[in-house]
A and B are shown apart, each in its own frame.
Chain A
Amino acid sequence: MSVSTPTTDDFVDWYTDLTWTRAALYALVLLGVVFFLAPLETGLMTAFKSDAAVIRTLPFLPPFGDGFTLDNAQFAWNHLSGPLLNSLVMSIPATLFTVLFASMAAYGLTMVDWRGQLAVLSLFMVGVFVPYQAVLVPLARFWNNIFPLGKMVAPYVASLPYFTENHAVLVPLIITHVAYGIPIITVLFRSYMQTLPTSLVESAMIDGASVTKIYYRIIVPLCKPMFAVVFIYQFTQIYNEFLFSLTLIGNASSSAATVTLVLPSLGASVSGMDFGVRMAASLLAAIPTLIIYVAFAEQFAKGLATEA
C-alpha cells in the first residue's frame, strides 16, 4: 500500500504500472466510485440549493450565488432534531443490552462443552433469518393488549426531564430490538470465539476458576475486537430499522417517533416533491451512521466479512 508518503520508488512503480490494461482497470474502478457516490453527491448538493436552483441547475453541480440556501437544512433540523434524539435514546441502550446478552449466549454455547449445544445453536441461527413480518401481528397484540408495558411505565417516563408519556413506547421497542438482535450477534460472537485458543480456558478451569470468572476475566478481554465490530453493526441496524417503529409507535407525528419513521412521511406530506428538503432531511438522518461508518470503516468491513 502506498497510502503513506510517496517516495521515488513509488513514482517509478506508478509509472511502469501505466500500461493500457492497467489504465482500463483504473478507469473501471473509477467508474465504480462514481456509481456508488453519485446518489450521495447529488443528494448533498441538492440539500443546499434553493427551490429554483433545484429545477434550473444540474443536480451534481454545487450550489452557487443566490442558488445557495440553508433553509432546507434549517427545516430538516426543526423537524428531525427531536426524532434524532428519540432514535439515539432507543438505539444506544438496545445495542448495549443486545451485545451483553449475545456475548453471554455465545460464551455459554461455545466455550463451555455440553451435549445438545448444536440444537440450541441452530435455533439461534434460524432466528437470524426470520422475516419480521412473520411475528409482527403477535408483537403488536402483545405490547398493546396482553402486556401493555408502555402504558405501565408511562408515569415513570413522564417524570424524567425532557421525556413525555408518549416516550414510554420506546421501552417495549428497546426490548423488541434486543430480542430480535440477539440471534445475529450471538452467531457473530460464536464465530469469533471459535478462533480463540482453548488452552487459556482449559488451564483456567484446571486452576479452579468458575464459569463466571472465566467469562469476564478471559473471554471478554479476548473478544475486545469483536465487541467493537458488533457495537457498530448493531447500532447501525437498530438506528436504521423502520418496521418495528412503524408498528409499535405507529404515528409519525408522535413525540416519540424515531428518525426513520418521520422521514418517509416528511417526504410525502409536508414537502410534496420538494427535493431540497428531502435531501437535507435524508442526509441529516444519515449523519450518525455515516460518522460511525467512516470512523470505523475497517471494523465495519470486518463485521460484514465475518457475518458470512
Chain B
Amino acid sequence: MATQNTTDHAGRTDERPFSERLRHFVNGTFVRSLPFWGIPFLLMGSAVYAGIGWNVLISLTDYEGLASASYSHLDFEMYARAFGSSTFWTAAQNTFVLLVAFTVICLVLGLVLAVLLDRNIRYSESIQTIYVLPMALSFVITAQLWLWMYSPDSGLVNLAIKALGFSSIDFLGNPKIALAAVIFALVWQFSGYAMVVYLAGLRSIPTSQFEAGKIDGASTARIYLRVIIPQLRASSVSAAVVLMVFALKAFTFLYSLTGVFRPPNGTDILATLMVRRAFKYTEWAYGAAIATMLLLLALGVIAPYLYYQHKHGSL
C-alpha cells in the first residue's frame, strides 16, 4: 500500500522524506479502516480458510480413531479409496440429482407462484407470508412434519392416495422413491424463497411493457412468456445459487428423518456420508477427503456465479 503514495499522477517519484510518507500511510484509509474489518476478517479467515486448509491436509493422512494425526506420510490414498467405493459414487450421484432436481423444481414453482401473485391478487402480502412460512423452520422440524405427512398408515399424503383408489405407498421406506420424496419435502420448504426473488424481479419491470403488449393484442400468457420472463435472468441466477447452497445443507433434513447417522435407504448424499464416516466410524482422514470433494462441488457452483456478478459489475 505504501507504494501508492510514492508516485503522483504525473508518474514522478515522490521526493517526500520517508517519515512523512510513513505518517501519510498510517493516516491513510487502509490503516484507519483496518480495526473495523481486520478483526472479523481474522476470525472468519481462520475459521473458513485455515479450516479448509487443515481439512485438506488431514485428508492426505491416514488419521483415524482416537490417536493423533501423523503428518509425515501424505498421499492421496483416501481419495483413491473414495473413487473405488460404490457407496461414494451412489452418494455423489444422489447429491447431483438432489442439487439439480431441487433447484429446477423450486425455480419453476417459485416462478409460477410469483406470476400468480403479480396478477393483482387481493391480500397478496399475507399470501406471500404463508408461502414463505416453511423457511422459518429448521430442517429438524420439517423432517418431523414430513415423516407424518408420508406416514404409510394415516399420513395426509397416503390418505389422499388411498382416497383416489390406490394402495398406500411407503415413500421413505422404498429406496427407489425415497430421494424423490425428500426432494418434494425440500421443495415445499424453499420454493417460497424463489417466489420472493422472482416477485421482486417482476415488480421492478415497468408495467408499460405489459400495456404495450396488450395494445399489440398479445394474450397475457404470451406477454409473460415472450416479454416478461426473459428479463428475469438475473433473478433466476441468484435464486438458483442460494437454492443450491440450501440443497448442500440437506444433511440436517436427512439426519433428522431417522435420528441416526444413516439416512433412509436411497437418500445417502456426500454430506451424510462424510459426517457418518468421520463422526460415527472416526475415519477422520476419509471423512476429510469426502468433505474436500463436497467443497469442490460447492465451489464449482459458486465460481461461475461470482464471475457472472463480477462481469456485470455488481460485485
What residues of chain A have their CB less than 8 Å away from a CB belonging to chain B?
Answer: 1-3, 14, 25-26, 28-29, 32-33, 35-40, 42-43, 46, 54-55, 58-60, 101-102, 104-105, 107-109, 112-116, 118, 120-141, 145, 176, 178-180, 182-183, 186, 210-212, 215, 236, 239-243, 246-247, 260, 263-265, 267-269, 273, 275, 278-279, 281-283, 285-286, 289-290, 292-294, 297-298, 300-301, 304-305, 307-308
Contacts and interface: CB of A to CB of B under 8 A. Distances in A.
A17 to B, nearest CB: 8
Nearest to B129: A297
Interface of B: 1, 4, 28-30, 32-41, 43-52, 54-55, 58, 68-69, 113, 116-117, 119, 121-149, 151, 153-156, 159, 188, 192-193, 196-197, 200, 235, 238-239, 241-242, 245, 248-249, 251-252, 255-256, 258-260, 270-271, 274-275, 278-279, 284, 287-288, 290-292, 294-295, 298-299, 301-302, 306, 315
B256 A32 contact: no
A215 to B, nearest CB: 7
A223 B302 CA distance: 28
Nearest to B136: A293
B109 to A, nearest CB: 9
Contact of B302 (A58, A126, A180): A126
A136 B130 contact: no
Contacts of A211: 29, 32-33, 36
User: Which residue of B136, B255, B279 has the most chain A CB atoms within 10 A of its CB atom?
Assistant: B136
A32 B136 contact: no
Q: Is the interface of A mostly helix, strand, loop or mixed?
A: helix
13 contacts: A32-B116, A32-B131, A36-B130, A39-B134, A102-B40, A114-B33, A115-B30, A126-B299, A129-B241, A132-B249, A182-B40, A275-B147, A293-B133
Contacts of B252: 242-243, 260
Given A39-B146, A264-B259, A183 B154 contact: no
Nearest to A186: B40
Contacts of B117: 29
Contacts of B122: 1-2, 14
B154 A120 contact: no
Given A178-B43, A180-B48, A59 B155 contact: yes
A242 B40 contact: no
B48 A137 contact: no
Contact of A135 (B51, B133, B259): B51
Contact of A42 (B142, B143, B156): B156
